Amino acid sequence: MIKGKPFVKWAGGKRQILDKLKEYVPVEYNTYYEPFVGGGALLFELAPKHAVINDLNKELMNTYKVLCDEEKFKKMCRVLNNYEANHSEEFYYEIRNKDRNKNTYNKLSDYTRAARTIYLNKACFNGLYRVNSKGEFNVPYGKKTKVNTYDGNNLITVSNYLTMNDIKILNVDYKEALKTAKKGDFVYIDPPYDSDTAIFTNYTETGFNKDSQRELAFVFKELSDKGVFVMLSNYNTTLIQDLYKGYHIHLIEAKRNINANAKKRGSVFEVIITNY
Ligand SMILES: C[S@@+](CC[C@H](N)C(=O)[O-])C[C@H]1O[C@@H](n2cnc3c(N)ncnc32)[C@H](O)[C@@H]1O
């Protein structure tokens, strides 16, 4: 079976540590849950037949939904072809700034918004997703003279996977998305990471702070009490070690490159925590 790959570059994307993650996935489970799905690296790798995927990022989840509709999917690709042909710095800012006028922005079709999301992801600086306090995408131009917005074969594989299996796509807070998880299901939790130093963590308008990590640890425990298999990844920080003591904490070394400061990129220690 040909496996799909993430169609966006996502901060915290799991491609580099996929092999490590796979080592800890339970051999058997019922429904797969990924409440912070982002680019979906592990989802596409495991390709479960029954899954619930979710992210708070509205534009990202709209793109997943468009990929589930053949007609909209084709229209999105046509818009992307047009964006690639017109790509320039000026054009980038024209597309980026469409969300400055909420009236016209809300009237855009879902497939045009999906094309905008993919185009901005590929053409912006370093594939970051960042919005200001008004929810306006504000990442500068990535200075690429040419952009390839999509790999047609991969998008078809991803679209086939999403439509031919039982995949529920949500756009809510993770707690809401996990309400239906039952004994025997498997939940992979990949939240915005905690940090001991101040590095980039602001994925959405809401942010995810230390209290959010504490609340998440409580949800981890609730799921564990129900008999759900739970696996979580995060940085190896003092808070994370403290919140998950008593569970299995596996230390791994990962290469990370989403950091605005090139000098600070490099190896960091991450953890994969399981309750089984
Ligand atoms: C570390 S990233 C996930 C990376 C992903 N596993 C991948 O491979 O690309 C964290 C994600 O959590 C999402 N997020 C932040 N707060 C959230 C919340 N309260 N509920 C659901 N998703 C949230 C962000 O939009 C972001 O996509």
Q: Of 117, 203, 218, which is best to mutate to test ligand 1, by the most ligand atoms within 8 angstroms of its C-beta?
A: 203
d(CA 64, CA 66): 6
Q: Which atom of ligand 1 is nearest to the CA of 34?
A: 6
CATH number, domain of 181, equals 3.40.50.150
Give the chain's largest Cα–Cα span. 55
Is residue 197 located within the same domain as residue 266? yes
- Asked if residue 167 is part of any domain, the answer here is no
- Asked if residue 185 is part of any domain, the answer here is yes
Contacts of 236 (CB under 8 A, 6+ apart): 251, 268, 269, 270, 271
Q: Residue with the nearest Cα to atom 5 of ligand 1?
A: 38
**pLDDT tens across the length of the chain (276 residues):** 789 999 999 988 888 899 999 999 999 999 999 999 999 999 999 999 999 999 999 999 999 999 999 999 999 999 999 999 999 999 999 999 999 999 999 999 999 999 999 999 999 999 999 999 899 999 999 999 999 999 999 999 999 999 999 999 999 999 999 999 999 999 999 999 998 765 554 444 457 889 999 999 999 999 999 999 999 999 999 999 999 999 999 999 877 655 555 555 567 799 999 999
Q: Of 18, 22, 55, which is best to mutate to test ligand 1, by the most ligand atoms within 8 angstroms of its C-beta?
A: 55
- Asked if residue 164 is part of any domain, the answer here is no
Cα-to-centroid distance, 190 and ligand 1 (Å): 7
Q: Residue with the nearest Cα to atom 8 of ligand 1?
A: 13
- DSSP alpha helix (H) spans, 34-140: 41-46, 58-66, 70-86, 89-96, 102-106, 110-123
Is residue 144 located within the same domain as residue 74? yes
pTM of the full structure: 0.93
- Asked if residue 160 is part of any domain, the answer here is no
Cα-to-centroid distance, 90 and ligand 1 (Å): 30
Cα-to-centroid distance, 225 and ligand 1 (Å): 24
- Asked if residue 239 is part of any domain, the answer here is yes
Is residue 93 located within the same domain as residue 49? no
pLDDT at 261 (0 to 100): 58
- Asked if residue 157 is part of any domain, the answer here is no
CATH number, domain of 136, equals 1.10.1020.10
Tokens standing for 77? 């690709």
Cα-to-centroid distance, 174 and ligand 1 (Å): 9
Is residue 201 located within the same domain as residue 268? yes
Lining residues, ligand 1, CB within 6 Å: 10, 12-14, 35-36, 38-39, 41, 54-57, 173-174, 190-192, 203-204, 208
Q: Residue with the nearest Cα to atom 27 of ligand 1?
A: 38
Q: Residue with the nearest Cα to atom 17 of ligand 1?
A: 56
- DSSP alpha helix (H) spans, 107-233: 110-123, 152-164, 174-177, 210-226
Closest CA to 64 of 170, 176, 150, 189: 170
- Asked if residue 98 is part of any domain, the answer here is yes
Q: Which atom of ligand 1 is nearest to the CA of 175?
A: 20
pLDDT at 205 (0 to 100): 45
Domain carrying residue 22? 15-56+172-274
Query: How many structural domains is the chain composed of?
Result: 2
